Structure 1
Amino acid sequence: MKTVVITGSTRGIGRGLAENFLASGCRVVISARSQEKVDEAVKELRAVHGEAAVTGIACDITSEQDLAGLWAFASATGPVDIWINNAGMSIVRKSLWEQSADDLRNIVDTNLTGLLLACKVALAGMLDQGHGQIWNMEGFGSTGQTNAGMAAYGATKRALNYLTASLQKEVKGTAVQVNTLSPGIVVTDLLVGDYDFSSAEWQKTRKILNILGDTVETVTPFLVRGILGAHKSGTRVAWLTGRKAFWRFLTAGFNKRDLFAGYDSQPA
């Protein structure tokens, strides 16, 4: 039974990954900043998968002490086989000069500094135990995409790929692997929170997202299968490939779907 640690896993993609790892027979350790949210998620998951299969602990990834505590908690009963750096944040889409300094510091502290610290802790633990896989979660900007209003978020995700490539060189010759997950465009609160639903820009963006986007329930089973089937450092598991995106646009006229209908009915 493999032990899997997922940061930021009480909701969204992280929660979907946890559910699919559990369904595959893995032991899962979930985490989030709030212990209350962790306890609630653990209770819900145990009701389906059993008490022994899932545990959880609060962890703020900007704190090295919290991350060390997460590693100690997860490894107390055996080695950590898979560590997924999923936790992250976004800020409202607007031009850089309109962003607050606090928001810019927070997104860098979480998406980049937090990632560095998480990799530091997980790598040290895995090298000590003699094996393990680290998976870093790509996002918009990771492979060079640019868009207005996404300067800060995209910069942190571009840095993620540089870090991942560098760490792959650092672990060369060991039994530790550093890999990449690319979920594509997944409808989560993190994605939806970036947009003003009353704006004309949103109506244009919505059409594109309905072509290229998918739900957590669609994407996460694919990602988990890819992770469990990976055996070498440098593996990239990607849901939305260029070929798939091309086919989506080609057949868009025949596939009328609205991934955001549920959000329209929510109060402002």
Structure 2
Amino acid sequence: MAKQHRILTGQVAAITGAARGIGRATAQAFLREGMKVAIGDLDFATAQQTAKEVGHGTVAFQLDVTQRASVKDFLDGVESQLGPVDVLVNNAGIMQVGHTIWEEDDATTQRMIDINVNGVMFGVKEVVPRMLSRGRGHVVNIASTAGKGGFPGGGTYCGTKHYVVGMSEALRAELRGTGIEVSCVMPVVVNTELAAGLQDTRGVKLIQPEDVANEIVSALKEARFDVFVPRSVAGITKVMNLLPRGGRESLSRALKADKVLIELDAGKRAAYELRASHSDPALEAPDETKQLTP
């Protein structure tokens, strides 16, 4: 007998970094399932505009995932307006790439750790106790296929996504039998601002934010942990894991995966890189010496 899919209608979902991109697409996908949605973003004005555009009672909140107090306030606000959080999607993240590890400035490194690592960790620490008290819930952590390997030009980014994968696996084991599910989403390069100026790999092409959102919905319905987008990447990953290191590296070169984050069009990425840099309130102007790597 086929496993019965879970009904999502009426569930409350909170999504971080949801003013645009994957977060916005996920909000829209959840709304189609009849869920109640809250979005949080550092860019509050855009979050408010997104909430207005997607409609259906979506609410927006100011959110800085690098501050645990802000994450707590976000979840408190969601529960006050919509009810207990059934689903948390830890989506907020930045990807500043194109530099070797030793060339990347310290502010860039720290900012990716603050957002991609601490942002997910704070989300988990704040939402899991709430879910445990109710005996139900689902945590969705957005990682990347970069969390399954290391790619030139993206050492820090890959490291932060390795953290999300490893922490998600540990969290799943810790929550076994509690009624709380965990999903780890690992997409290839997605057609958002983050992917501006990046190359395609051979055999795995650029995907759309809606592709990721649809797989997140599927994971919620099926209580599935490993969420590769597209699903074909799961097969590639299995093959890679069976090969010795030399074989994995040769296959990566054959697929041009080793070029994606290092051989990019800096001009096409300039707007995103600047916006990512300005996600740090301490950075006042793009020409200051303390700016993140441009």
TM-score, normalised to structure 2, is 0.72
CA distance in 2, matches of 1:58, 1:80: 17
Aligned-residue identity in percent? 24
- Runs of at least 5 residues in structure 2 that lack an aligned partner in the other structure: 1-9, 238-266, 273-294
Matches within 5 A, 1:35-114: 35-46=44-55, 50=56, 52=57, 54-76=58-80, 77-114=82-119
Tell me by how many angstroms 1:175 deviates: 1.4
Who is 1:217 aligned against? 210
Who is 2:243 aligned against? none
Q: In the alignment, does 2:32 pair up with 1:23?
A: yes
Name the aligned partner's letter for residue 220 of structure 2: L
Contact 2:145 2:187 in 1 (8 A): no
Matches within 5 A, 1:186-197: 186-192=190-196, 195=197
2:179 corresponds, among 175, 178, 181, to: 175
Change in CA separation of 1:73 and 1:209 when aligned onto 2, cut-off 3 Å:
farther
Secondary structure in structure 2 of the residue aligned to 1:5: strand
Who is 1:119 aligned against? 124
CA distance in 1, matches of 2:124, 2:184: 13
The alignment covers a number of residue pairs equal to: 231
CA distance in 1, matches of 2:145, 2:229: 14
Name the aligned partner's letter for residue 111 of structure 1: N
Tell me by how many angstroms 1:62 deviates: 0.7
CA distance in 1, matches of 2:15, 2:117: 17
Name the aligned partner's letter for residue 26 of structure 1: M
Q: In the alignment, does 2:233 pair up with 1:242?
A: yes
CA distance in 2, matches of 1:94, 1:152: 10
Tell me by how many angstroms 1:243 deviates: 6.9
CA distance in 1, matches of 2:226, 2:171: 14
Q: What does the per-residue CA deviation read over 1:54-92, in whole Å, with 9 as the maximum and x for residues that have no partner? A: 111011111111111111111124221110111001113
Name the aligned partner's letter for residue 5 of structure 1: A
Change in CA separation of 1:81 and 1:267 when aligned onto 2, cut-off 3 Å:
closer
Tell me by how many angstroms 1:23 deviates: 1.2
CA distance in 2, matches of 1:243, 1:69: 36
Greater CA drift, 123-132 or 26-35? 123-132
TM-score, normalised to structure 1, is 0.79
Who is 1:228 aligned against? 220
Q: In the alignment, does 2:125 pair up with 1:132?
A: no
Contact 1:223 1:238 in 2 (8 A): no
CA distance in 2, matches of 1:111, 1:267: 20
Q: What does the per-residue CA deviation read over 1:85-104, in whole Å, with 9 as the maximum and x for residues that have no partner? A: 11001113110111111111
- Runs of at least 5 residues in structure 1 that lack an aligned partner in the other structure: 196-201, 247-262
Tell me by how many angstroms 1:163 deviates: 0.6
Q: What does the per-residue CA deviation read over 1:114-146, in whole Å, with 9 as the maximum and x for residues that have no partner? A: 211111001122112321000111214212x22
Change in CA separation of 1:172 and 1:267 when aligned onto 2, cut-off 3 Å:
closer
Tell me by how many angstroms 1:245 deviates: 6.7
Q: What does the per-residue CA deviation read over 1:223-263, in whole Å, with 9 as the maximum and x for residues that have no partner? A: 32x133123xx6222222237779xxxxxxxxxxxxxxxx9
Change in CA separation of 1:267 and 1:169 when aligned onto 2, cut-off 3 Å:
closer
Change in CA separation of 1:99 and 1:58 when aligned onto 2, cut-off 3 Å:
same
Tell me by how many angstroms 1:12 deviates: 0.5
Matches within 5 A, 1:249-268: none
CA distance in 2, matches of 1:220, 1:191: 17
